[in-house]
Chains A and B, each alone.
Chain A
């Protein structure tokens, strides 16, 4: 093959090259970074607690901790004065208390880190889906597989994924494949959880005689639903983690338009079935159920490592029809 002269220096004539030097495609390591959203985070950071507020909380917490430490030391002295056996017992109790506190804190920290990892995966997936590139998406698949390493039920899905990815797929296609082959079954399970949660709440509110108990049940079941969904997607939130998740989701509900409007909910509930209009309790149950469903779906949106695309978003339709059958079950 002859090299042909051409104006631009970057142009290359077609040629054959030495097969010995060729490498398989996904090879070059690119710096993972340049995540979008850094600026937004900085802006949001400014909206955080004022410095004085955190100083106040920190000081009070430190005082309480110090007080506890002094008390513990005091207790220890008195216990040893009473006898070596008491002393040993108190030492053991303190050790258990400190150990469990540490463990809980570590768990919370780990769960927060997992949530953050999911956010990282989501922004990676978004970037890969919009820019047509090659070779990076297989690394994304690897990091997703690493994220789900403790989920044996996903191993076959990852195996199928690995078989269907070829070197001809671009990054966007690989992300779509992951979406279909690994996450779609999870979506299915999560959706079933949401349907079940919504039904439970609708039934419970409809049957529960006292309003206070009602509120408690709704809160508890919603928290459980969020944890279930988050665990399915691998977020595994701890107690505080799920409360945080819940908080973020409530803001999400208002902001992201997951709930079209409250009046829509009412129409769904009231117009859908005569029984609902007849019995206020039933109507309340359906509204609560629909709200729960919305919260569950918001949790799905929040915990999924790849954002939903317009054509695979979970819809409220099935949940509505499920809820419409609640009055019949009650009556």
Chain B
């Protein structure tokens, strides 16, 4: 008891020391933690790669005010002071995109972090006299999107979580994928004494089910807990051996299957989720939420709902609100959030307005909640890497706005009419028809060879919303 107290005290001391040293650092250089939030396949890695590349070369950011007014000096990568987290492998990802055989970077398997330092001339005369050149250290964290879905777990007791997962697994399209695991649930009793083998078996079947969800063509987003499918450094740890159980409503005995699983669930929450959150998310200043709307639209209404509920649940964990100068210094709240519909290059440019609108409509509740707390919220349709060109073509006497690019897995460019995005939530008026086909395109050959940074759509406007006031 006393030891834990002491431990806590020393933790607090360490925290205070960290803050003080941050504070001193802040007097000379500003640190800004940008949270790149997004579910699996939302394009976080490509976004971070393109963001860094464009900041380093600064040739394609006309809407970033500090660049437009010629105050932008230069940016470079600097080692992150936190040496325990692996560095985001910007060079390798960039090489994958810009190589002779362009392709997409591998999905992120673990946590990665990188720091970009930006030097600029301050805009206000007063600041210029004090400091002719200011430095902004931009810290960006990349992580597997699956982990984001762990955040809602922090607030849930085991029983409630189990019930939610079981309810979801009963409905199509998940019911078929969960058959084996649900069969196993029928054979065990939560109240009986259990051994390790039983736990392992349950966790294995549940993990298989989660993997099946991820692979399924319905593009399902709610896959919890995230470490089951992307274990990172925890592969094989006993922490990951639990699964949801149906609640019998009776008191659970010690050493019963339920009690063991609940214990592991709580350990998972405190050891994995809370640590991940405290170390990487609780000190964010700005946040961009990347949403792959087009992928969900292609997969159908089920996928869209799934994605929306996953996003809304994960976003509740973050602290949004207006932060004063003191909070800014010690890193308190997220005071600016940008929702971005990614992969905007998969539709013709004339559809970007509707795409942006649709994202607004889908996440209007979450946006309202953030705005209520005092954060500034924006929406944008962006493409971190522009892979296509908008072209016009004629079909049966009608002018169609299409996109032209090389789809993944082919070697010749094609012209695709992906369907029109409506300006309302009336997305799937006809169940039978497939109103949208958004193909995945390969990165363009020779991207970024002109030395101006990777071609993008509205990355500069996104950056201006997120960082603009720091460059004042």
Contact = CB atoms under 8 A, between A and B. Distances in A.
B418 interface: yes
Contact of A4 (B390, B415, B433): B433
B417 A4 contact: no
Interface stretch (A18-26, A32-40, A241-249): A18-26
B415 A17 contact: yes
Contacts of B108: none
B436 A14 contact: yes
Interface stretch (B207-215, B224-232, B363-371, B392-400): B392-400
Interface string A71-101: 0000000000000000000000000000000
Interface stretch (A110-118, A161-169, A198-206, A300-308): A161-169
Contacts of A180: 62-63, 68
Interface string B321-362: 000000000000000000000001100011011000000000
Given A23-B392, A168-B352, A13 B434 contact: yes
Contact of B415 (A16, A25, A167, A170): A16
A168 B418 contact: no
A17 B452 CA distance: 32
Given A19-B404, A22-B392, A23-B392, A166 B68 contact: no
A219 interface: no
B390 A25 contact: yes
User: Which of A16, A163, A180, A184 gathers the greatest number of chain B CB atoms within 10 Å?
Assistant: A16
Residue of A14, A169, A173 with highest tally of chain B CB at under 10 A: A14
A50 B349 CA distance: 52
B228 to A, nearest CB: 35
B40 interface: no
Contacts of A168: 344-345, 349, 352, 383, 386, 390, 457-458
B390 A167 contact: yes
A146 interface: no
A12 B412 CA distance: 24
Residue of B398, B435, B452, B458 ringed by the most chain A CB atoms within 10 A: B435
Contacts of A24: 389, 391-392
Contacts of A164: 60, 62
A15 interface: yes
A163 B344 CA distance: 20
Tier of interface size on chain A: 20 to 34
B417 A14 contact: yes
Q: Is the interface of B mostly helix, strand, loop or mixed?
A: mixed
Given A6-B430, A166-B455, A170-B349, A14 B390 contact: no
A177 B389 CA distance: 20
A52 interface: no
A19 B405 CA distance: 10
A319 to B, nearest CB: 15
Contact of B389 (A15, A132, A167, A184): A167
Contacts of B402: 17, 22
Contacts of A56: none
Contacts of A12: 395, 398, 400, 417, 419-420
A27 interface: yes
Contacts of B432: 4
A147 B394 CA distance: 34
Nearest to B413: A19
A221 B63 CA distance: 37
Contacts of B270: none
B457 A14 contact: no
A158 interface: no
Contacts of A184: 68-69
A310 to B, nearest CB: 15
Nearest to B345: A168
A1 B414 CA distance: 14
Interface in B214-242: none
B404 A22 contact: yes
A140 interface: no
A22 B350 CA distance: 16
Given A4-B433, A6-B430, 6 more contacts: A13-B419, A15-B416, A22-B393, A22-B402, A168-B383, A180-B68
Interface of B: 60, 62-63, 68-69, 344-345, 349-350, 352-353, 383, 386, 389-395, 398-402, 404, 412-420, 430, 432-437, 452, 455, 457-458
23 contacts: A12-B395, A13-B419, A14-B416, A14-B435, A15-B395, A15-B417, A17-B393, A17-B416, A18-B415, A19-B404, A19-B412, A21-B393, A22-B391, A22-B393, A24-B389, A24-B392, A25-B401, A132-B353, A134-B349, A134-B350, A134-B401, A168-B344, A180-B62
Interface of A: 1, 4, 6, 12-19, 21-25, 27-28, 132, 134, 163-164, 166-170, 173, 176-177, 180-181, 184
* Interface pairs A-B: 9 shortest CB-CB: A14-B437, A22-B391, A4-B433, A14-B419, A168-B457, A164-B62, A17-B415, A22-B393, A167-B390
